[in-house]
Chain A
């Protein structure tokens, strides 16, 4: 596509929609105490299992109803965004840094380094990731830190595999030979030529991984291995909602929608960014 064609291409709907939703979630997470109508931990047994506002029997002020302990569902979802996004940003960034570095090094230097990295990736690929993360958290103990460590320790290979493959492709291209002939050092070529070309892929994968991290955190909360059960997490709310699904569907539905849209937004945002910045397409 020529430079001309790119200028005509507007920002895609995909980026606008997914970016807007992510912005809403980030604002909710940052300003949770100002936005949330109630204390997410406040229990009131007189207000338990209130339906959302449009259903008869609803109590004013509790827009999305209350859960089995009378806690406000909307406030818990807003506060839940904090934990979801913390895990998403920290774990995905850590996995990205470790995995991309390993992938770049393995793909560029090849030889025994590549052999070792590839064998480690093979071994990691032999475990079901969900079971692996549950096991790791059980071993290192529950809590936010453990969740982040577990996700990083498991998902770095996603970056490693893709970046390694990308680097292998890049290093076979002509421009690398030209750079070498021009006297650039190997490290210089890696940092200045190979890395920028692998960047769109890494960025897309990073956004995708944030969505995956949100899901893994929710799964760990669901099996009660994330942070303490009182703290509002989307996964924890879903786990509770699953048990009272026949009496109070809203306890499950609303956190599920939040999770659904957030995961979808992260992956679409990543794809949108890649389409926009891919040097080949550009």
Chain B
């Protein structure tokens, strides 16, 4: 019964959060300077024309009525039409979302691998200068945000020692003619490895920039839990059985050190996705974030609304998933 209650409370809070998000997005966009009607009409339009158009777009109604009409449309998946691209916002946004998701997941994978390796290394050589070294690397990776890592990478691996492409998602000469926008996934499934390599050539640097701060968080947390676990009885037992230190860490300690790290990694995933906005801009990567900045610069209000809402839904969804995952995975809470 208590579990059901907890889930219902969580669902209610999520609903309140989403409603609040909708209100904020609506309010911020409405206070934006500039009359949208004035922008649509040619100069010299009569007052009648203006009134007619205002009525057509529902702008003659009260602000509260306008909000609920807008919210109703949004709930039906109708985000309006983009002013600058002249296509339905939902179509544009869903077209760009896969690029951002692929970049985020690649970054996440890199972060987990890097962070895990660092934590393993620091635990294996704990209380030696190697651990101090890892701590210093962590401290720097953690304090410097993705934007600066991106710039540093462009300089190092893009210009000084040009290994990777510094802009775009895919080489313009390469037209994969894929049926989805999940280029990376589809290229792997179709075994078009030339496309995969080209995509990675473009994606690795932005992904690395996004991954570094998160890798540091993972390394730090995992290291702390690993070191704690290393003093537990069952780890001692495994050691007395004659297993090597590396084997003990990777087989016995890792499994139990994972849960706290996993939860925090989930929460950090939203920070990583938030970081794609500026990183995509920096690398001219054609994802949602880059589109969002264009939309802001072009004052394309319907498009901005759509993108911000999509990000918000994504974030709320991730936070909810993390909560649920934690409840499912934590043996102490499972029977609570």
Interface of A toward B, CB cutoff 8 Å: 119-120, 122-123, 125-132, 134-136, 138-139, 141, 211-212, 215, 218-219, 222-225, 238, 242, 245-246, 249, 252-253, 256, 259-260, 263-264, 267-268, 271
Contacts and interface: CB of A to CB of B under 8 A. Distances in A.
A130 B278 contact: yes
Given A215-B147, A252-B151, A126 B31 contact: no
A130 B274 contact: yes
B145 A138 contact: no
B28 A268 contact: no
Contact of A131 (B32, B145, B292): B292
B277 A260 contact: no
Contacts of B143: 211, 263-264, 267-268
A113 B154 CA distance: 47
A138 B296 contact: yes
A253 B140 CA distance: 18
Contact of A135 (B142, B270, B308): B308
B302 to A, nearest CB: 14
Contact of A139 (B32, B270, B289): B32
Interface in B297-318: 297, 299, 304, 307-308, 311-312, 315-316
Given A126-B316, A215-B145, A271-B139, 12 more contacts: A119-B20, A120-B20, A134-B292, A134-B293, A139-B28, A139-B31, A215-B147, A222-B281, A245-B159, A256-B152, A268-B139, A268-B143
Main secondary structure of the interface of A (DSSP, over half): helix
A153 to B, nearest CB: 10
B66 interface: no
B7 to A, nearest CB: 17
B28 to A, nearest CB: 6
B285 to A, nearest CB: 14
Contacts of A130: 274-275, 277-278
Contacts of A139: 28-29, 31-33
Nearest to A238: B151
Nearest to A245: B159
17 contacts: A119-B16, A120-B20, A122-B20, A126-B21, A127-B312, A128-B274, A130-B275, A130-B277, A138-B296, A138-B299, A139-B33, A238-B151, A249-B155, A249-B160, A252-B151, A264-B143, A267-B142
